[in-house]
Amino acid sequence: MPCTTILVGRNATYDGSTMMARNEDSPSGSFTSKKWIVVNPKDQPRHYQSKLTHFHMDLPEEPLRYTAMPNALPDEGFWGEAGVNEANVAMSETETITSNARVLGADPLVPDGIGEEDMLLLVLPYIRSAREGVLRLGHLLETFGTCELNGIGFQDMEEVWWLESIGGHHWIAKRVPDDRYVVMPNQQGIDEMDLADALGEQKNHMCSRDLADFIRNHHLDLRMNSSTAVSLEDERHFPIRPAFGSKDDADHTYNTPRAWFMLRYLNPTSFRWEGEQADFTPESDNLPWSLVPEQKITVQDVKYLLSSHYQGTAYDCYGHKGDAHTRHLYRPIGINRNNFLALTQLRPYMPKEKAAVEWLAVGCNVFNSFIPFYANVTATPAYLAQTDKNPNSSQFYWASRIIAALADAHFAACSSAIERYQGASFHKAQALLETSDRTPLPEDVTGFLASCNEKMAALAKEETDRCLGQVLYEASNEMKNSFARSDS
C-alpha cells in the first residue's frame, strides 16, 4: 500500500520524545475509510485467521491492550496500521517497499504468508520494547514468510527501529540514531548495514540469521572489490541498498521525489538540492536514509511534510511555478487518497500513564487537521471510533474527506479557510493537551484520560464543522451556474 514514513530519534526532536509518523494511502482509484479504536485483551483473538490469504496461527494467552487504526469496514481484514500498547511501545505498519528480481528469485514471496493486513495484530500486543517488536516480527517472517515487501517501524521512549522485509523470508532492521531522522517513501531504504553487529551484538542492527549466506549464495554483493573484501560476517559498512533495493524509472517519479522534498526541508543548507551542480535531485538513487537535521524537529514539521505537495518548487500541483507538465511530474506526499496520518509521540518527561500521545488526521492531509489523543485508554471517542460505510459529516473521517474534495476543486478560494482551520485546530489542541498534562492524575487514570480525549474530539468536531461550512460556502460561490444579478 502506498505510504510515506518519518522516524525521529529522541535527540533530534524538540522535546526529547521519540516520534514515528506515517501516512496510510489507498491504492490508486480507491479510498479506504478508517477508525481509531482500542483493542482490550478480552477482544484480542487467541486464534488468528487472515481474510485475504490462508494464513492462520495461534496467539499467546496474555495480550496487552493496544490502540489501532483499522479499516472501518472489515471485509478485507483488520489492517491495524498504527498503535501504542499499554507498555508504551508503538508500531507503524506498513510502508510497502520494493526489491529486485535477483532477491525475489532467490527468496520468492509466500502467497499465504503474513502481510500488512496481519502484522500489527500479531505483534504489538505481545512486545514491551521496540527491540522485542523487531525480533518478534523477524521470527514470524522467517517462520511463515510474507506475501509482500514491507517496511515497519517500532518505537519506545528510548529507541526507534526500522525493519524491512527482504524477499519471502529474509529481513533487515536498523536503529534510528538518536540525533537523526529517517524519511521513507515506497522503496527499500536502508542504505548501509553493519553486518558484524547484526549477526553478533545487535546493538544497532539486526537481520535474519542466514543473511550473510543468502547474500553470498545468490551473488547479491555488487561491490567491485567484493572478492577481496573482508568476510560478510565481519563487514561493518555493507551497502545494502544495491543488494536488495530497486533502481527503476518508476522510483524517480513515485518514490525518490518524496524523500528529496523531506530531506530538503529538514536540511535546506546542508546540500545543494537543485540546479546543475545539485548534490541530490528528485531523481537521485543515492539519497541518504538518515540525516542529522539542521534544527530540532517538531510535530508541526512532521505534519507539514506528510501533507506536502512540493510547495515552493516547480512540482507543486497547486502552484504557479513551472508548467502543466512539471506541476504533475512527481507523486505528492499529501495526495487525494491519504487515508490517515498518525504520529506516535512517546514523551519521557511525562508520567508513564500520560507519556504516549497519538496525533491523528484523516482524509487528505493537505486539507485536514492534526489532533492529539492519549493512548492509555480503554475506549476512544465516537467521533473517531465510528465510521459508517456511507458518508456522514458527523464523523471525523467523512467530514475531512468532504472538506478535501470541495477545497481541492476550489483551492484558491478555500485556502484561507483551510489555513485558519489547521492553525486554530492545532494551537487549541496544543493548549488543551498542555492543560491535561498539568492536571494531576486521579485514581481512575484511564477514565480521566478518556475524558480528556472526549474534550479533544469535541474540539476537533467544532473546528471541522466550522471549516466544512466555510469551504461549502466558498465552493458554492464558485459553481459554474452562478450569475451576478441577484433575484432579491
Place of cell 471541522: 464
Decide if 129 contacts 185 (C-beta within 8 A): no
Is 147 one of the annotated active-site residues of the chain? no
Contacts with 173 (C-beta within 8 Å, 6 or more apart), sequence order: 134, 138, 161, 162, 163, 164, 198, 205, 206, 207
CA 440 – CA 445 distance, rounded (Å): 10
Q: How many CA atoms lie within 13 A of 79 on its CB side?
A: 21
Report the Cα 456 to chain-centroid distance in Å: 22
Contacts with 347 (C-beta within 8 Å, 6 or more apart), sequence order: 15, 16, 17, 157, 354, 355, 356, 357
Phi and psi angles of residue 66, each rounded to the nearest 5 degrees, phi first: -155, 155
CA 436 – CA 441 distance, rounded (Å): 9
**Residues constituting the chain:** 488
Phi and psi angles of residue 426, each rounded to the nearest 5 degrees, phi first: -70, -50
CA 74 – CA 63 distance, rounded (Å): 21
H/E stretch holding 478:
none
Q: Among residues 3, 317, 414, 467, which one is catalytic?
A: 3
Q: For residues 114, 115, 116 and 122, what is the CA-based torsion angle, rounded to 10 degrees?
A: 10
CA 51 – CA 177 distance, rounded (Å): 37
Q: Where do the H-state alpha helices sit in 287-348?
A: 299-306
* DSSP annotation string for 83-133: EEBTTS-EEEEEEE----HHHHHHS---TTSB-TTTHHHHHGGG-SSHHHH
Q: Which SS3 state, helix, strand or coil, does residue 305 take?
A: helix
**Could you tell me the three cell numbers for 201?**
551484538
* DSSP annotation string for 226-249: GGGSPPGGG-SSEEHHHHH----T
The residues that are catalytic are 3
